[in-house]
Structures are given as structure tokens and as C-alpha cells.
Structure 1
Amino acid sequence: MTTLRSVSLIGAPTDIGAGARGASMGPEALRVADLAAALQSHGVDVLDRGNLSGPSNPWLPPVDGYRHLNEVTAWNQTVHDAVYAELKTGRMPILLGGDHCLGLGSISAVARHCRDVGKKLRVLWLDAHADFNTSALTPSGNIHGMPVACLCGFGPQQLIEIGGKVPAISPKWVRQIGIRSVDAGEKRFVNEQELEVFDMRYIDEMGMRHTMELALATLDANTHLHVSFDVDFLDPDIAPGVGTTVPGGPTYREAQLCMEMIADTGFLASLDVMELNPALDLQNKTAKVAVDLIESLFGKSTLMRK
């Protein structure tokens, strides 16, 4: 099911929450890989809003358990405002990251929009990591490992209140897919909060089709479906250009099926594409794969049957 959609590309060129530099170049790499033209080929109206601006990365050690907290807050507030503005005009925001700490600004804006219009929210978090850390659980202090926890109300005050309501979302609205790297304390916390996680073992045992059927279950026309796609979700063999590679991710075919099944619902309403790091990539290979998979979210299909 494909509908003519109006999409706005929003670049967020920062690696402020990450442990490696380079994700700040992600938005440009996606543009170089012809994301806009790929979407236009599927009848999508594309407006590139250019890049947001925010504080530069001071590359400092953590303070009180958080690295770059004020800069992360500033970037997320800017992302929140930009995403929220697009949703208000009826356009679909595609946030081009940047590191995954920005999922906080993006999803808090989506949640706020859903409150405004009375819609339910479902978040698909496609990632190798649960990103459900707190300063008490992670020694690094890198906030790109914390956005889901912050969205669920666990984190520093200035971050958790960005969307105007604490918590911004309920863990029950989230489905995490492809997870395969979780710290021990984080694992306990995820289980306590009853986050629904389809890890790689689950995908290996049950297959991507069954996984996605469950992750997409009970969606209806009153559901806003948000996909937060961390490129490290993919196996590093096909997507080497990320700062935190974890072997054993979904193959190209599994990822295609995942995206095609999301597209089939017709409910995709906002998207993040995060953690693409061209500095670690091979000839923009990862950006090209990402664009290919985003095309599948917009109706490119391998199906031959009618």
C-alpha cells in the first residue's frame, strides 16, 4: 500500500552524544547517496530543509555521568522543534543523523504531536543496542546510549522534559528489533521496564517475518508509526560505516523484509536515520544501503506476485 506522501529531510550534523567522531557527516553522505531522488522515484514529494545547527562537539570527558549534557540538550531541543513543526504542517519528517541521542528530540516531538491529534504512537527501534542506559549504568557517559531511557522518563531533568511531558512515551509503545549488545545492568533495567525486545536470537529462532508481524501487531489507522533506524542495526558486513559495529546483525534480505513489511502497513509517519559515520565507511557503501532500505519503506518491493 503506497500513498503519495510529502516528506521533509532534516539534517542534524552532530556526533555530540557518540563515542566516536564522524556521525556529524551522516546527513551529507545520505544526500550524496541520492536519498531525495530515490524517494522522488516513488512519487514522494521531497523537500530538503537543509541542516539544523547547534553547538560544536567539545570532545570532553563526562561530568556527573553525562558527556556534553548541555550541548546534547541544545541539539535535541532544536531537533524537537524542527520535527514538531513538520508534523504540524502535515509533512513527514525524516531526520538525517547524527548520532542516536537525537532520537530523544525526534520522538518526543512525535509523541507531542500524537497528544495534539489524539493518535496512538508505536515506535520501532531498529538498533544493535537497546539505548536504555542511565548515568548509573554506563561508565562512558555517552548519551547516544540513553535516548530510550530518557524518553521513558529516566535521565537528567533537562533532557526528559524536552517534549513538554514526562515521561514523553511509555515503554509499552516501543518495539526494539535487532538488539545484540546490551550491558548487564541495562539488561536488568530493560526487563524491569518491560520493554518489548526482539533480539537477534529471537530473529534467528523465529525469523524476521514473525518478528515483524508481532512488532506491527494491533496497528490501526489511528496509530502514528515512527521508525528510528540506527544503521548499526544492520550486519557490519553490509554496513561498516558506523561507530559501534556489532557482528551478527540482520542480513540485507532480512532488513529488506523488515522495511517492506513496515511499508505494507501504510502507517509509517516519521523516520530517523541515525549513526551513519562516513569516516568509517567504504566508498559510501553504508549510506547507499541505507538509502536502498529507506526506499523500501516507501514502497520499493522485491515482490513479483500480484
Structure 2
Amino acid sequence: MTLTEIIETFKTKLNPSKIMDSLEKTASFYDESDNDFGEDDSGDDLKNNPYSNSASDSVKSSGLTKITRDEKEPLIKLTDVWKIYQMGEVEFAALRGINLEIYEGEFLVVLGPSGSGKSTLMNLLGCLDIPSEGTVYLNSEDISGFDESELARIRGQMIGFIFQSFNLLPTLRTEENVLLPMEFQEEDIQIARKKASYLLDIVGLSDKKHNLPSQLSGGQKQRVAIARSLAVNPPIILADEPTGNLDTKTGNYILEFLHGLHEREGKTVIVVTHDLDLVKYATRVVYIRDGEIEKIEKRTKSEPEELK
């Protein structure tokens, strides 16, 4: 599928809800005394939140993007889900009868070793794939049989992705990478630029907006990826090994930022990882091995000072 064809699938434009003023506080996840995290010299006023003006947009949102259901109903639900791959004459089941419910506002950690099926599960949760058997519900809609254009529309409006390898386009500058999801949603370019500038302020990279990814450190690339994931203000943030390519200090800053989004913004955060240290951020932990859920552990929310 060409880029033009991809953009053509995004004809339904998201009318984002407000990003609360408290999101600005999460900008303090970086230490200004550290060169990598203290280079923001922007004088822009973060109170000028461009997302707060979006309510006047005349474009109708997709029904799937409106989280207006009974809070007791899961935001995402997998029922007896299997994912089977054909390898020559042999079938391999990467997932086996998965049953999982994820509720709005959770910080869910999916924990498992390499080859456990957690990446396959992530693909289903992120609407990157559909199951071989079973049913996947998103916002009470059965999306198991959706085609790629429908899945792409949902991904563009409801899910912000943060990948281990950052997945920034190498030929696009920082600001352009953040603008890309909004271009897919056909956002007005002037409004989109204001939003991109606002998000880069929040992650402390306003002075790097014209840099290419090759000119950024690993931590800076991941912060660009976070800004991009928030571009259309999606209700779900899906992170795949978000600290896997980062040093411990930088990784902790990233996790504190995600924790802030969850605590202050009520974002549903799903982190797929093999790192046991990430469990301390979770409200629930799903342990997966050999394509099956071993157990689901509910955890008491930790206080922010306990995470430092």
C-alpha cells in the first residue's frame, strides 16, 4: 500500500478531547541539570493548549473513538483468541485461547520471556493484526473481521504506539515525525503545527524540532516517539519494550512520563515487556508464556515518590 493509499483510508478525522493542564507537569520527567534532558529553551507558554480549541471542530468523530460506555465494560476484550501461523506444512500457535479484559484507565503490563507470544498479543491489542480464531472487542465493537483500512482508521484515532526501536522516519525531522499522525487525520496544518509544538514542549524537545532522527540521542528519539503517540490525543497508549534500547536513567524518565499520563490524564497504558522492573508501575500484570496466560496479578497503585 502506497503512502497516498494509506492516507486515503484516514477520511474520518478525530475530534480530540482536551489535554488537561496537569499534563504539563509531566514535562518535569527530565532533569534540567542533565544535558540530554535539559535542552529545552522554548519560551512558549504551555497554557496555550491547542487541544483545548478542538471542541469547536465541525468534523464528526468515529463512534469507536468515543469512550462513552459503561465503565464496568472493558475497553478491550479478547475472547478465546488464537493466532496460528502456517510454517510450511506445520501450524504454529503463537497464542492459545487467550481470554483478557482491559479496562479504561488501567496501566497494564504484559510480561513474558522472548518467544512467549507477547509481541503477537501486542499486535492484536494494537489492531495491527486479527486473530485466527476467537474475538477481539474494542470499545464493545467486534473488530476481529475488520479489513486493513478499517484497522488503520482505528489505530490512527484510538491508539498511540511507542516502539522499542522508536520507528521514526529517518528522512523526516522531529516536528514532521510528530505531525505525521495528524496529517493522516487531515488535521488543519496550522492547528497541527501548534499541537506538535505543544507536545515537543511537553517532552522537552522544542529546540530539536528541526533535527533528523540521526541527530538525536536514544532518549531524545524515544521522547519524539512519545510526542508522536500523543498527537491525536488517543485514549490508549501501547508501548512495546519502551526502555529496551535505553540506559537505565533514561528508561526511568520515560516510565515516569508514562506513569504521569496514566495518573493525571487517565490514559489506558499497555506496556509489553520482559523487564520485571516495570511491574512496579502496573495496576495489573499479565504473565504470558508459550502463548498462554499463566496468571493475571492485580497490584495496588504505587505512590509516585516510591517509583523514583
TM-score, reference length from structure 1: 0.36
Task: Work out which structure has the larger RCO, using CA pairs closer than 8 Å and 6 or more positions apart in sequence.
Answer: 2
Q: Structure 1 or 2: larger helix share?
A: 1
TM-score, reference length from structure 2: 0.35
State which structure, 1 or 2, has the greater radius of gyration over its C-alpha atoms: 2
Q: Structure 1 or 2: larger strand share?
A: 2
